[in-house]
Amino acid sequence: MPVTCELTHFDPMQIMHSGQCFRMKKVDNDAVETIALGRRLVITPLGENRFSFDCDEPTFEAVWRDYFDLREDYRAIHAAAPADDVFLQRALRYSPGLRILRQDPWETLCGFILSQRKNIKAICTCVEALCNLYGEPLPGTERHAFPTPERLAALDETDMHVCGLGYRAPYLLDAARRVAVGKLNLKALFQMPDEWLFEELLQVSGVGVKVANCVMLFAYHRLSRAPVDVWIERVIREVYGGVTPYPGYGPYAGMYQQFQFILQRDEGTAALASAGRAVQKPRKLAAGCACEP
């Protein structure tokens, strides 16, 4: 019944910690459980790049091979990175098993609407609360699927506030209603060019440039989109001297950004020191900052 296969550039634990998805969870040992696409999956590492997936072969091929982006050639993507970009090379070595998932657009849109002014753990907490209250229960687990747009569209703001959404509740409601009435057709957007998709996502209230780019990268697999959050702002400022490197990275800019995001977040100033730059972490000082050029 379970599928076992050998995979390189694949580490569920690294993906779990990457901040692109909010429902992966460590279970026992080194196994990871994820709830996605209305299903539950447990991945158990068997050593030597071998993994066990607790699903049948047809499901693995039809659902999970795409979800985990297992058809993409990550060796080539790593190899295409500029060799003289010290920080990027270090970031790639830091998370060799990271992949950009192909997540459900609806769930991804919601997750990143909720992400604003929240840290990743807090996002996971409120997404889980939303699922537990309004998502379909999944057999064989206490966990629930992500709620459908129709279900959320039928709620009111107070129903959502109990999930810790705060001021984001009306944003999520707006998104649910747009999708439920067909004003926003998330499936159809797969075939649209980047700029069209981008503009369409920006129409949703609570979705700005950053969130739109996250949805484009993590759901629509637009690998050139590089979301700029506070961590990447620090990378640009402190590692690249205030000049964004992303336009220069070409078609994999968003992919590379994700590796850098993780390194910067995990190691902060230590990463900068290894990048060989004499920089200081700007502890939010008041006016008269000493780093003024």
- The reply to whether 287 sits near DNA by the rule CB under 7 A is no
The correct pick among 30, 57, 75, 166 for binding DNA (CB under 7 A) is 166
- Please state the closest distance from residue 159 (CB atom) to DNA, in A: 14
Is residue 10 within 8 A of residue 70, CB to CB? The reply is yes
Distances from the Cα of 40 to the Cα of 24, 215, 253, angstroms: 10, 22, 31
Please pick, among 121, 210, 281, 284, the residue that the annotation labels catalytic. 210
Nearest 5 degrees, angle CA 216-CA 255-CA 245? 100
The one among 119, 141, 185, 274 contacting DNA by CB under 7 A: 119
Tell me if 70 contacts DNA by CB under 7 A: no
**Is the CA virtual torsion 22, 28, 31, 33 positive or negative?**
negative
Kindly tell me which residue out of 5, 205, 237, 244 binds DNA, with binding defined by CB under 7 A: 205
Q: Which of 25, 65, 90, 118 binds DNA (CB under 7 A)?
A: 118
Please report how close the Cβ of residue 212 comes to DNA at its closest, in angstroms.
6
Structure tokens at 102: 């192909």
Site string for DNA, 228-267 (x = CB under 7 A): -xxxx------------------------xx--x---x--
- Closest by Cα among 102, 101, 82 to 92: 82
Residue 107 sits in the site that holds DNA (CB under 7 A) = no
For DNA (CB under 7 A), the number of binding residues is 38
The DSSP-derived string for 45-101 is EEETTEEEESS-HHHIIIIIHHHTTTTS-HHHHHHTS-TT-HHHHHHHHH-TT----
For residue 45, the minimal CB distance to DNA (Å) is 22
For the bound state, the minimum distance from the C-beta of residue 50 to DNA, rounded and expressed in Å, comes to: 27
291 near DNA, judged by CB under 7 A = no
Give the Cα separation of 227 and 220 in Å (integer): 14
Residues of this chain, 17-46, that bind DNA according to CB under 7 A:
18-20
Position 152 contacts DNA (CB under 7 A): no
How far apart, in whole angstroms, are the C-alpha atoms of residue 193 and residue 185? 14
Q: Is 118 a catalytic site residue?
A: no
Q: How far is the CB of 149 from DNA (least distance, A)?
A: 18
Identify the CA nearest to 232 among candidates 263, 208, 191: 263
CA dihedral sign of residues 235, 95, 125, 254: positive
Q: Which residues are catalytic?
A: 210
Residue ranges in contact with DNA by CB under 7 A: 18-20, 112, 115-122, 125, 161, 164, 166-168, 205-212, 214, 227, 229-232, 257-258, 261, 265, 283-284
